[in-house]
Chain A
Amino acid sequence: MTSRRKAIENIFKTSTFMGFGGLLWGSSADEAANTEFTLRPPGASQKDRDFVQACIKCGTCVEVCPYDTLELATPGDGKVVGTPYFHPREIPCYMCTDIPCTNNCPSGALDLKRLEKENEPASINNSQMGIASIHKETCIAFWGIRCDACYRACPLIGKALTIERKINERTEQHAYLLPIVNGDFCTGCGICEHVCVVEESAIYVLPLSAATGRVGNHYVKGWDKEDEKRMKLNNTEVDDSKDINSGLEYLNSDEELY
């Protein structure tokens, strides 16, 4: 039989262990789960944190990948340990049409549903692993040199990557042939990054969360009937004839003046 003193001591010890241990463990795990700039296999959630939550870290996707594109993170890689990622400069995603990585994922972290589009069956062409970005200053096509390596290598040539012609005003007799990434089609496979001819690739894939913006409610396309609907939807919630107070409050408040 434990004495009361002993019992209180035990409760104190246990709660200290659970409290501080939990705080330390929880905060470091929470911190470790935040890794941006990590390229995930097709069918992963756009929010990396959601992917990390769902991934059971079994490495099945890595094993079934026929090109050894995917790797599992180990401590020191700066990524969540045990989760799959790829470096396109080394081995890009070659976009297998049977999508073995997503197909074999047991946990649902890679989901074929994310590769479906408007009743079409899941297709690797709908994947959004990331988006290619071009650094104009180091892309030699922007210098005026004729290089279309990325454009030629792109699996969605003419859609995800297009060539834009422009007059080269330096020589006044040549043309620029500039690679342009089209975000609606780019899958982030990274073959462009893999083939880029300069020392450190001038075209590189970034995760969507890192490379895209969001207009949100700030602007509506006035010329687009579909987009204009967003405005009407927002307005239905407020009935001006009934809501007099907010208007009065707005007129009476002078906060924004100072």
Chain B
Amino acid sequence: MRNCINVLQALFKNRKYLLLRRVSQLSILFLFFGGNYFGWKVLIGNYSSAILLDEIFLSDPFATLQILVSGFVGAANLFIGAAIVLLFYAIIGGRVFCSWVCPVNMLSDFSLWLREKMRIKDKSKIILSKNVRYYILALSFILSAIIGIAAFEIISPISIFHRAIIFGVGGSWSVILALFFFELTIVKNGWCGYICPLGAFYSIVGKYGLLKVYHEKEKCTLCNKCFDVCPEDQVLSIIGKKDGYIKSGECTNCAQCIDVCDDDALKFSINYFKNNLNNR
């Protein structure tokens, strides 16, 4: 019994938010899965568009915008759903979708973990700019307008991945494997950190949201653990330099930095908006 508790304690230590995130990601995925296989009415559809509790429409605002730009004015439910989701992430802030909802995050984290276990060093000759995703975001709107089809939705590996889980794999495994090995062997965190336009979209949407990581310089011992775990370490520019919020919208609010910080120098704060105004 005591062993059990020790094991659990060891598991939870420095992994509190990681476990919470996995619970959040897996339960959403499981509800979608159950919606298809067991006929549960909690979440019908998938991450592109869903019906919550047989009542509330939810839809991917990025996909909805692409469809609109391509020249099709969708049904009212589509826009209501997109507005709900957009407001939710705009208010919460950061890329909460990426680290708390999106199933690709689990695949991506798995490849990061495997990278560490297999000691794959990031000596990649391919150097991507963190801004590539914004160009791809812009391209997806431009192309949608030109070809008259939602350009990213038609190739999106995110959608292919979650549909493979919710509706059956079919021929999707090739795309999923490609995505996995791209992140494992070619570019570290390549999809989520550099390419994904949906992440770029939520970076912009969540820029001024409430939930942000707060850093206290006094407590920081400059151990750099947060830089090691952060998938977007360019957002940590203030660490060890000054007190304040991690302001960048590119922060996924994954809280891995909070988990690894032994000095209690990082924590979640929801007073961002108030303080943000005062600081300007």
Interface residues of A (CB under 8 A from B): 14, 17-18, 21-22, 25-26, 28-30, 32-33, 49-50, 52-54, 56-60, 62-64, 71-77, 80-82, 104-109, 111
Contacts and interface: CB of A to CB of B under 8 A. Distances in A.
B171 A53 contact: no
A56 B163 contact: no
A107 B146 CA distance: 21
Nearest to A30: B147
Interface stretch (B6-14, B107-115, B153-161): B153-161
Interface in B30-69: 35-36, 39, 44-46, 48-51, 57, 59-60, 63-64, 67
A26 B154 contact: no
Most chain B C-beta atoms within 10 Å of own C-beta, residue among A14, A52, A59, A109: A59
B151 A82 contact: no
Interface string B238-251: 00000000000000
Interface stretch (B74-82, B118-126, B212-220, B262-270): B74-82
Nearest to A62: B167
B78 A107 contact: yes
A26 B70 contact: no
B164 interface: yes
A105 B64 contact: no
Contact of A60 (B39, B44, B160): B44
A6 to B, nearest CB: 13
Contacts of B51: 60, 104, 106
Nearest to A17: B135
Nearest to B58: A106
Contacts of A54: 67, 72, 74
Q: Which of B72, B155, B174 has the most CB of A within 10 A?
A: B72
10 contacts: A22-B142, A33-B147, A54-B74, A56-B150, A56-B153, A60-B44, A62-B36, A64-B44, A82-B153, A106-B49
B35 A63 contact: yes
Contact of B151 (A26, A64, A74, A106): A26
A106 B36 contact: no
4 closest A-B pairs by CB: A74-B170, A76-B171, A108-B75, A58-B49
Contacts of B36: 59, 62-63
Nearest to A19: B139
Interface string B162-180: 0110111111101100000
A18 B138 CA distance: 9
A80 B154 contact: yes
B55 to A, nearest CB: 12
B13 to A, nearest CB: 39
A40 to B, nearest CB: 15
Interface in B120-145: 132, 135-136, 138-139, 142-143
